[in-house]
Amino acid sequence: MLQYLLLLETDREKEFFTSIYTAHREEMFFIAYDILHNNADAEDIVHESFLSLIDHVDKIIDKEPYQVWHYMKTTVKHKCFNLYRRRKSLEEVELDEGWMQEEHAADKGPDLLIEDYELQEAMSGLLKQLKEPYQEVLALQYYHELTPNEIAKEMGKTPDNIRHISMRAKRKLQDILEQNKRWNG
């Protein structure tokens, strides 16, 4: 934490930053880990988020605690999804390496695990047939389980716009499925 405090100018900023760091560091890590599923990446995101908070400490120092927490949480989420974009993971939704170790995997037999994998691969293939905004919205909505409000903030659009994009994307997917059915049927 000392490295962060050296970047701050006033004692008031240092005291404020110390309080939010101790109060929210672990929560920020858990949010990042929940999205990224990787300890090292989650730690990096938390670090980047705190550096960003230092740059904006003057804007949030006088805010209500719930507003500060919302800002921090939003910063972590944005940085996580920016990391996904940099790695282009939204274009290729891959099966998590630990798919057989998942909690519910013990309850499923090998046949059901393979069926889940095949379904995931099929959905990934369908998503790749869509244009970028449709791919991104559906991936964020269903794979990352974000709400339209969270997706809107991430993409710089309105929640209504995200809902419309989602509806159009689902219609396009249905068209693709019907077309494949005709070709295979």
Confidence (pLDDT) at 116: 60
Full set of structural domains in the chain with CATH: 2-87 (1.10.1740), 99-184 (1.10.10.10)
Residue appearing with tokens 């716009």: 161
- Amino acid in position 78: H
Q: Which of 77, 67, 97 is nearest to 33 (CA)?
A: 77
Asked if residue 112 has pLDDT above 60, the reply is: yes
Band of pLDDT at residue 96, cut at 50, 70 and 90: very low
Per-residue pLDDT averaged across 102-125, rounded? 61
Confidence (pLDDT) at 94: 45
Asked if residue 9 has pLDDT above 80, the reply is: no
Cα–Cα distance, 148 to 145 (Å, whole number): 10
Asked if residue 174 has pLDDT above 50, the reply is: yes
Question: What would the two tokens of residue 106 be?
Answer: 């013990």
Contact 183, 172 (CB under 8 A): no
Cα–Cα distance, 145 to 155 (Å, whole number): 15
Give 58-77 pLDDT, tens digit per residue: 888 888 888 888 889 988 98
Per-residue pLDDT averaged across 88-112, rounded? 50
Cα–Cα distance, 82 to 89 (Å, whole number): 10
Band of pLDDT at residue 99, cut at 50, 70 and 90: very low
Band of pLDDT at residue 43, cut at 50, 70 and 90: very high
Mind giving me the DSSP string for the chain? -HHHHTT--SHHHHHHHHHHHHHHHHHHHHHHHHHH--HHHHHHHHHHHHHHHHHTHHHHTTS-HHHHHHHHHHHHHHHHHHHHHHHTTTTS-PPPTTGGGSGGGGGS-HHHHHHHHHHHHHHHHHHHTS-HHHHHHHIIIIIS---HHHHHHHHTS-HHHHHHHHHHHHHHHHHHHHHHHHHH-
Q: How many CB atoms neighbour CB 126 within 10 A?
A: 16
Average pLDDT across the chain, whole number: 78
Question: What would the two tokens of residue 110 be?
Answer: 């090998």
Per-residue pLDDT averaged across 37-42, rounded? 88
